[in-house]
């Protein structure tokens, strides 16, 4: 298993809408194993494929309410869609492996009806609530090119602007490997 480098703001793949997976194969199974390893290696609770440079509609999630981090089993959600959102909302702090050092309170529907394919490509429909509902919404947003800060009010977003600039410049420290986009750095220096 490989720990894959994590793509950070403002790499274009993080604004891309994911491509559906049509069939499971050994290569994809190995990629899912790498994604799980990468998420754990970065102490994350979710990871979308575009965060490690793949355009496929795959995310790894875990339910942090279900027990100790080491004991909870992470799983892949493939081609996930939210079929309905609860009217009730909840507000919790979120972070993102692609936005190191940036955390903020995010308001989201408290529960969702979600549909996805599991690692055996069996269709799953379930009603999810609590932190898992939040994690799934965060990851499904990634697969649609959306960051958590897109959900903030304009004022809160403006307050995080300097953090985004720091991430974009690549001057953030992480204890997990980040993808270095040299081409983007050249563009940045020209500004
Ligand atoms: Zn994220």
Ligand 1 centroid distance, CA of 65 (Å): 18
Output the pLDDT for position 191: 44
pLDDT, tens digit, for every residue of 74-121? 999 999 999 999 999 999 999 999 999 999 999 999 999 999 999 999
Question: pTM score, two decimals?
Answer: 0.94
27 is catalytic: no
Ligand 1 centroid distance, CA of 8 (Å): 10
Output the pLDDT for position 148: 98
Q: Is the pLDDT of residue 185 over 80?
A: no
Output the pLDDT for position 180: 86
Ligand 1 centroid distance, CA of 111 (Å): 19
Share of the chain above pLDDT 70, in %: 94
Residues around ligand 1, an ion, CB closer than 5 A: 96
Short-list 75, 77, 80, CA closest to 33: 75
Ligand 1 centroid distance, CA of 191 (Å): 27
Output the pLDDT for position 189: 52
Short-list 67, 48, 52, 70, CA closest to 116: 48
As given in the structure block, the two tokens for residue 104 are 């903020």
pLDDT band with cut points at 50, 70 and 90 for residue 184: low
Catalytic residue among 119, 139, 168, 183: 139
Average pLDDT, the chain: 95
Ligand 1 centroid distance, CA of 142 (Å): 7
């Amino acid at each position: 298993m490989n720990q894959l480098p994590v793509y950070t703001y403002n790499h274009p793949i993080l604004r891309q809408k994911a491509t559906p997976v049509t069939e499971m194969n050994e290569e994809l199974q190995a990629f899912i194993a790498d994604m799980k390893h990468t998420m754990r290696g970065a102490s994350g609770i979710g990871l979308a494929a575009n965060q490690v440079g793949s355009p496929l509609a795959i995310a790894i999630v875990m339910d942090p309410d279900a027990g100790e981090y080491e004991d909870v089993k992470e799983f892949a959600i493939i081609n996930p869609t939210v079929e309905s959102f609860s009217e009730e909302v909840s507000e919790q702090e979120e972070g993102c492996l692609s936005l190191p050092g940036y955390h903020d309170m995010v308001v989201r529907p408290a529960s969702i009806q979600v549909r996805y394919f599991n690692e055996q490509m069996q269709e799953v429909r379930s009603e999810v609530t609590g932190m898992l509902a939040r994690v799934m919404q965060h990851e499904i947003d990634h697969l649609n090119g959306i960051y958590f800060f897109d959900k903030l009010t304009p004022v809160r977003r403006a307050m995080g602007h300097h953090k985004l600039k720091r991430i974009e410049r690549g001057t953030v420290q992480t204890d997990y490997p980040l993808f270095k986009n040299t081409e983007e750095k050249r563009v940045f220096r020209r500004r």
